[in-house]
Amino acid sequence: MARPREFDETAAVESAMHAFWTHGYEATSTQDLCAATGLGRSSVYNTFTSKKALFHRTLTHYSGQGLAGRKAILESPGTATERIAAMFDALVDDELEHGRRGCLVVNTLAELGTPDDEIGEALRRDTEKQLALLAECAREGVLDGSLRPGRDPADVAEFLLSTISGLRVMSRRGASGEAMHAVADLALSAIAR
């Protein structure tokens, strides 16, 4: 072995993540990334190869964290309806507390679409996992009687993810917490028993 790193790689990824999150992919320059992480250019390129590779790293980190948090909420005790309501509450709270950054995945989808590269693949994978998580919850809701039966759980999952995306966009445009809660409540009323 040789000279050791003078920084924490995960911390650097998180700093870069916030830079990309608030300013978007294109508008975040490599200089911005150096400033955000506190690293020199050499360290950034030596560790992360390229801007795009660092963004990909950032995206998978974000996705992993987000999915873990959502999974924790959707697999907590209570009826499926209660858990979905808690998920919406957490989303709104998060937006109000952290300055309406929206969702990195949604922001990236809107800015870049679904590119035919590893970025697009990361976006697709995140979407699939979110849908799987939500569909499972929809199935449980029918069993525990808190969700209306008769709908395809996959459709319910798509509806919930669409509502989540809608709320993220709402937050991005500065909508009030009350308005966001009202939207979540209406969405819930479409599927709750």
Binding of DNA at residue 43 (CB under 7 A)? yes
Report, in Å, the least distance between residue 97 CB and a second copy: 16
Task: Tell how many helices (H) and how many strands (E) occur in the chain.
Answer: 9, 0
Report, in Å, the least distance between residue 38 CB and DNA: 9
At which residue do the structure tokens 């999974």 appear? Answer: 71
Which of 42, 68, 97, 116 contacts DNA by CB under 7 A? Answer: 42
Which of 39, 73, 91, 135 contacts DNA by CB under 7 A? Answer: 39
Question: Which of DNA, a second copy, none binds 163 (CB below 5-8 Å, type-dependent)?
Answer: a second copy
In the 8-state DSSP scheme, what is residue 159? H
**Contacting residues toward a second copy, per CB under 8 A:** 22, 24, 26-27, 100, 102, 106-107, 109-114, 123-124, 127, 151-152, 154-156, 158-159, 161-167, 169-170, 172-175, 179, 182-183, 186-187, 189-191
Binding of DNA at residue 58 (CB under 7 A)? no
Question: Which of DNA, a second copy, none binds 37 (CB below 5-8 Å, type-dependent)?
Answer: none
Binding of DNA at residue 45 (CB under 7 A)? yes
Residue with Cβ nearer DNA (30 or 76): 30
Give the list of residues 6+ apart from residue 140 with CB closer than 8 angstroms, or none.
Answer: 80
Please state, in angstroms and rounded to a whole number, the distance separating the CA atoms of residues 131 and 27.
30
Q: Which long-range contacts (CB under 8 A, 24 or more apart) does 145-152 make?
A: 145/79, 145/193, 146/79, 146/80, 146/81, 146/82, 146/192, 146/193, 147/80, 147/81, 147/191, 147/192, 147/193, 148/191, 148/192, 148/193, 151/191
Residue with Cβ nearer a second copy (61 or 120): 120
Cβ-contact 95, 106 below 8 angstroms: no
Report, in Å, the least distance between residue 56 CB and DNA: 12
For DNA, the binding residues (CB under 7 A) are 1-7, 28-32, 39-43, 45-47, 50-52
